[in-house]
Each structure stands twice: as C-alpha cells, then as structure tokens.
Amino acid sequence: MKDSCLLGIDGIVILANECASDSKPAGMCGIRFPSHEKNGKMNDIKIDPLELAALIGSRICHDIISPVGAINNGLEVLNEEKDESMREFAMDLIHKSSAQASAKLQFARLAFGASGGAGAELDMMDAGRCAAGYLEREKAELDWQVAAPMLGKNEAKLLLNLLIIAANSVARGGTIVVNADRNEDQTVMRIVAEGDRAKCAAGIREVVTGGAMPNPLDAHSVQPLYTLMLARQANMAVVISEEENRVVLGARSATKDAENPAQTGTEAGSETVIR
C-alpha cells in the first residue's frame, strides 16, 4: 500500500498510513515539516507523532512536578507533625503549591492543548490571566498589553509559546511586555523581555526562525520546535532579535501577496510534501 492519508496544515503534513507502505519501514510514519538548508532550500524533517506527544507530555509534567511534590511534602508534614506552627507552615505550603500547579495546568491547556476545539478563537483576557498565573512564582514580571480581544487558537497558542521562550530568556528576573493586535486578517505580535543577562538559550533562534531540528530533541527542546510548528500552522513568520539585556520576539501574519504554504505542494514519490 503506497498511498498515504495526508493532512496538510501550513507546512506540516501528517503521514497517517505511511507505515503500511511497502517502501517504508514500520515506525517511520510521522509529522513532516520543512526546514531551511544552507542553500535556502527546504529540507523535510519528520518526527513520530507519538514521540512528539510524549515529549510535550513530559514537558508539561516537568512544569508541574515541583508544586505537586511540594503538596505531597506538605501532606506528609500534616500527618506526622503535632507542632501547630509546623502544621500551619504545611497548610500554607499546600495552598500555595496547589494554586501554582493549577495555574501551570491552566496555562498548559491553552498553550499546548486543544482548548476551544478546532478552528476556535480564544479570549485573550483569559489567556492573559493564565499567563499571569503561570509567571506568578517566577522572577520575571509580566506586563500584558494585548489589544486584540480574541485571536485564532493557533495564533493564541503561538503567543503563549513565545512567552515561554521570553520567560526563559530572563531567568535572573526582569520584565516581559506582551503586545498583540489584529487588523482584519493581519495579526502582529511583539514580546519584549528585559533583564540582567537576558538571552535566548542556545539553538532557540535557529529552531524557531530558521526551521532547524533541535539536537538533541528532548522534553526541553521540543517546546521551541512546537512553537515553529504553531507559527507555520498559523501562517505567521517569527523573528527574534537580541541586544544587551534585551530579547525581542515578533510574529506577523504572512502578507496576501506571499505564497500560502498550505496551497503549494510538491510530489515526493507517493507523498505530497507541503512547502
């Protein structure tokens, strides 16, 4: 069986039945998206959808394991301690940690999940509240200045994933200003992160703006890769610039004159690869 079930989504192709192909070994089916080679041509990279789901799941678990562990520690103190001051400390730890875990899960639901269903738009005031809760216990201070009341689901998810990158770039503390607006069919985003030694982690720019494959691909590096996939699915171009103690991340919808990645295909054997 050489035909594949193809779901093209602005630069991403899900190869549903590739494992059944006589020419493809089992386990090679995946999500194909383009990345730039040195000569400017697009190089097709594939990732197993099960691996992608597993890595994103691991990333979410990494974010919430600390507050969940603190809740467990607090419960153990309550079970073992009779001292009233220690019990009060344990209850305070449980309350704060449960609030933090809830905030991180709510944020992950918007940033990584299927909130709102296919084709839905997301309320940006709600997204701002989730972003504030996500960063409440972090060192960076959030200034949410998003003018658009609603954004398409993938655009909103892209904005939140860019926010994650911005927050990681000011690990020593600082400010993060988030702007996003939509005029007719044009969406523009800008996130400015400022702080002591503000800097994107190595390889982030190459993945998000250049389409490079993270190496190694793990639960940490999958988030920039997911950001790239969201940008292409939303048909938006992302740029990242760095200055001393300042990182700026921007995204803009492709212009009407630009070629729509979802409308251009090239044949590759029995597979259609959307450029």
Share of the chain above pLDDT 70, in %: 75
| Average pLDDT over every residue of 153-172 | 96
Q: Residue 250 — pLDDT band, cuts 50, 70, 90?
A: very high
Within the chain, residue ranges assigned H as helices are 49-80, 84-111, 124-135, 153-169, 204-208, 222-233
According to the per-residue pLDDT averaged within each range, which of 36-45, 46-55, 147-156 is highest? 147-156
pTM of the model: 0.78
Q: What are phi and psi of 247, to 5 degrees?
A: -125, 130
| Average pLDDT over every residue of 156-176 | 97
Is the pLDDT confidence value at 275 over 80? no
- Residue 45 pLDDT: 55
Is the pLDDT confidence value at 33 over 60? no
Q: Residue 115 — pLDDT band, cuts 50, 70, 90?
A: confident
- Residue 34 pLDDT: 44
Domain map (residue ranges) of the chain: 6-48+260-274, 49-253
Is the pLDDT confidence value at 265 over 80? no
DSSP 53-84: HHHHHHHHHHHHHHHHHHHHHHHHHHHH---H
- Residue 29 pLDDT: 40
Is the pLDDT confidence value at 1 over 60? no
The CATH class given to the 49-253 domain equals alpha beta
Q: Residue 24 — pLDDT band, cuts 50, 70, 90?
A: very low
Parallel, antiparallel, or unpaired: how do β-strands 186-195 and 236-243 relate?
unpaired
- Residue 16 pLDDT: 38
pLDDT digits (tens, 9 = 90+) for 173-232: 999 999 999 998 899 999 999 999 999 999 999 999 988 999 899 999 999 999 999 999
- Residue 185 pLDDT: 80
Distance CA 4, CA 14 (A): 9
- Residue 184 pLDDT: 81
Is the pLDDT confidence value at 101 over 70? yes
Is the pLDDT confidence value at 239 over 70? yes
Q: Residue 114 — pLDDT band, cuts 50, 70, 90?
A: confident
Distance CA 60, CA 114 (A): 14
Cβ of 218: how many Cβ atoms within 10 Å? 11
- Residue 238 pLDDT: 96
Taking Cα atoms as reference points, which of 126, 129, 123, 166 lies closest to residue 148?
Answer: 123
Q: Residues 151, 121: contact at Cβ < 8 Å?
A: yes
